[in-house]
């Protein structure tokens, strides 16, 4: 049996189950020059929310009544392709289907002895996003103070640890006491703030930082980011990685006007998309692998089981139900 998940409707506000449609479809067979792939792990990511809308962005929107897709790990179960053998594992951006064929274009082989899911997280887009944004925009210097929002998530938990490797004092912001505890005990952050139980975030960040904030790695935007930015030091750098707090907004929110503050403090604020740094990916993966092997990087995963759970796992990202990378095991 084969099965696919289609985009049924474009959400207004938070996505819900009715925006996704499951269909049983024919089992494909690999023709000459093709492989048959069986999906084993699916990455669900906040940016997919943007693709459910039809607004112009850096990736094309999903089409209505067409398969949704994201980064997957798949096993080659039949091969008519000279470069792939049955039993090998690959990763690529592929459809949300149990089985699909591919002509091999865009498939990257992965080493199952490392950990298949690591290629969707710390050694995949997640780890590279953390490394590129921090290195290229944050430019951390030893002794500086780094604040990370969305800190217990896939990207944030890696950013904080790289900050520690680079000699920074690291403060994480996350949405539960379990998460703030994990930030300190598992990921080695110096300080952690639960934004859901803190009344005055600006004061809490000032107290945790002691001497102001030099670098802010922003995964969430909104009020949390305003509170961090008003604590920044002269020549502070802000890497805008994500703005998940606004992805389900139906109207643009009006925040404080930051320009005079950025001017006075000679600050840099820059957004980025990880693919901007594609040329640096091979050296980035090498660096992340070395840190991982040396035990300098820990990573967390929330693994949900079952193909039919993909939409719910995705929607749960907006409720903070994941610690580390959210992955669906098929």
Give the Cα separation of 230 and 211 in Å (integer). 13
Q: If you write DSSP's letter for every residue of 284-301 in order, what string do you get? A: HHHHHHHHHHTT-----E
Among 127, 175, 236, 311, contact with ligand NAP (rule: CB under 6 A): 175
In sequence order, which residues have a C-beta less than 8 Å from that of residue 252 and are 6 or more positions away? none
Q: What are the start-end ranges of the E strands in 219-310? A: 232-240, 268-271, 301-305
In sequence order, which residues have a C-beta less than 8 Å from that of residue 245 and are 6 or more positions away? 220, 221, 222, 223, 224
H or E stretch covering 259? helix 259-264
Q: What's the closest the beta carbon of residue 112 comes to ligand NAP, in angstroms?
A: 23
Among 15, 138, 140, 153, contact with ligand NAP (rule: CB under 6 A): 153
Closer residue to ligand NAP in complex, CB, 51/81 = 51
Among 19, 45, 214, 301, contact with ligand NAP (rule: CB under 6 A): 45
Stretch that binds ligand NAP, among 182-190, 204-212, 225-233, 320-328 (CB under 6 A): 320-328
Q: Is 322 in the site for ligand NAP (CB under 6 A)?
A: yes
Q: How distant is the alpha carbon of residue 312 from its chain centre?
A: 17
| One character per residue 232-251, x = contact with ligand NAP (rule: CB under 6 A) | ---------xxxxx------
Q: Is 317 in the site for ligand NAP (CB under 6 A)?
A: yes
Site size for ligand NAP, by CB under 6 A? 32
For the segment 56-95, give every residue that binds ligand NAP (CB under 6 A).
none
Do 242 and 144 form a contact (C-beta atoms < 8 A)?
Answer: no
Which of these, 144, 135, 200, 195, lies nearest to 167 by C-alpha position? 144
Stretch that binds ligand NAP, among 17-25, 105-113, 277-285, 319-327 (CB under 6 A): 319-327
The residues of the shown chain that bind ligand NAP, judged by CB under 6 A, are 45-47, 125-126, 129, 150, 152-156, 174-176, 179, 219-220, 224, 241-245, 272-274, 317-318, 320, 322, 326
């Amino acid at each position: 049996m084969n099965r696919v998940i289609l985009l049924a409707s474009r959400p207004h506000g938070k996505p819900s189950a009715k925006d996704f449609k499951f269909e049983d479809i024919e089992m494909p067979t690999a023709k000459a020059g093709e492989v048959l792939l069986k999906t084993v792990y699916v990455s669900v990511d906040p940016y997919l929310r943007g693709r459910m809308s039809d607004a112009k962005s850096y990736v094309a929107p999903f089409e209505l009544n067409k398969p949704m897709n994201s980064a997957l790990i798949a096993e080659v179960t039949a091969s008519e392709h000279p470069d792939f053998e049955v039993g090998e594992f690959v990763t690529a951006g592929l459809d949300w289907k149990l089985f699909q064929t591919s002509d091999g274009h865009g498939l990257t082989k992965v080493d199952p002895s490392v950990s298949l899911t690591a290629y969707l997280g710390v050694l995949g887009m997640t780890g590279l996003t953390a490394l590129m944004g921090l290195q290229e925009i944050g430019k951390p210097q030893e002794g500086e103070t780094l604040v990370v929002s969305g800190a217990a998530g896939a990207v944030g938990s890696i950013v904080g640890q790289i900050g520690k490797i680079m000699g920074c004092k690291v403060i994480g912001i996350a949405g539960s006491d379990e998460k703030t505890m994990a930030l300190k005990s598992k990921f080695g952050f110096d300080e952690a703030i639960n934004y859901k139980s803190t009344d005055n975030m600006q004061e809490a960040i000032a107290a945790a930082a002691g001497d102001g904030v030099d670098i802010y790695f922003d995964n969430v935007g909104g009020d949390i980011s305003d509170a961090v930015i008003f604590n920044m030091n002269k020549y502070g750098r802000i890497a805008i990685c994500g703005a998940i707090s606004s992805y389900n907004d139906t109207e643009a929110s009006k925040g404080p006007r930051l320009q005079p503050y950025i001017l006075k403090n000679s600050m840099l604020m820059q957004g980025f998309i990880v693919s901007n740094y594609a040329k640096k990916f091979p050296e980035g993966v090498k660096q992340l692998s070395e840190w991982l092997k040396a035990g300098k990087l820990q990573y967390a995963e929330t693994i949900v089981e079952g193909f039919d759970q993909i939409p719910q796992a995705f929607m749960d990202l907006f409720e903070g139900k994941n610690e580390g990378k959210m992955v669906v095991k098929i």
